[in-house]
Chains A and B, each alone.
Chain A
Amino acid sequence: GAVVSQHPSRVICKSGTSVKIECRSLDFQATTMFWYRQFPKQSLMLMATSNEGSKATYEQGVEKDKFLINHASLTLSTLTVTSAHPEDSSFYICSVQGFSNQPQHFGDGTRLSIL
């Protein structure tokens, strides 16, 4: 069964809206989760590393005030796209760091469309 649950799978909203995406680890406690963004026909780009109980680590060029990450528990990380604009439309994928030297487990992604 699924190891990582990502919700919602698709969201369409108006420009200026804030959108929250949830990433849940179903099978084990995850101190570290990752958020990636994927534009059409392109690769996955790491946006940030989400650390339970502490601030996320953002990759260069990613606006931390626009992409708010909260990792309040060992099974849940959320990504909030604040004041979303059409250029934020993308496929957002979370992953959970492997437990005991296991590879990352990926969610099924969220298709975000900003009108």
Chain B
Amino acid sequence: AQSVTQPDIHITVSEGASLELRCNYSYGATPYLFWYVQSPGQGLQLLLKYFSGDTLVQGIKGFEAEFKRSQSSFNLRKPSVHWSDAAEYFCAVGETEGGKLIFGQGTELSVKP
């Protein structure tokens, strides 16, 4: 069955510190992979996506993610976190770029001053 797992429900990092949010997926074929960010009470904003090509993808707001097929992972990273990055982050998988998505449970990021 297709699924997405985000092992960390809540992560707290200090402002300026580096960040890595974990995402593991289970999918029969080569999936489209996405990271979205959600601020409280709002919809989702796409941070980045991957389907093929370079396994390290760059996104908006200084985020990047690395696809590792051998580990079925697509972890999100940022070298230096800003207070405005505090939000909920969702990893998602789909069979097409614009089709329906399966979301992970989400990781809530808190940023300490």
Contact = CB atoms under 8 A, between A and B. Distances in A.
Contacts of A99: 98
Nearest to B99: A97
Contact of A43 (B43, B90, B98): B90
Nearest to A91: B41
Contacts of B44: 44, 93, 95, 106
A102 B98 contact: yes
Contacts of B63: none
A34 B100 contact: yes
A102 B97 contact: yes
A43 B103 contact: yes
Nearest to B10: A41
Nearest to B106: A43
A44 B103 contact: yes
Given A43-B90, A43-B104, A44-B103, A107 B97 contact: no
A108 interface: yes
User: Size band of the B side of the interface?
Assistant: 20 to 34
B3 to A, nearest CB: 11
Most chain A beta-carbon contacts within 10 A, residue among B41, B100, B102, B105: B100
B98 A97 contact: yes
B43 A103 contact: no
A91 B44 CA distance: 12
Contact of A98 (B41, B43, B45, B98): B98
A95 B101 CA distance: 10
Contacts of A44: 44, 90, 101, 103
B25 interface: no
B101 A104 contact: yes
Interface of A: 4, 6, 32, 34, 41-46, 49, 91, 93, 95, 97-99, 101-104, 106-109, 111
10 contacts: A34-B100, A42-B105, A43-B104, A49-B100, A95-B44, A97-B99, A101-B98, A102-B98, A106-B45, A111-B41
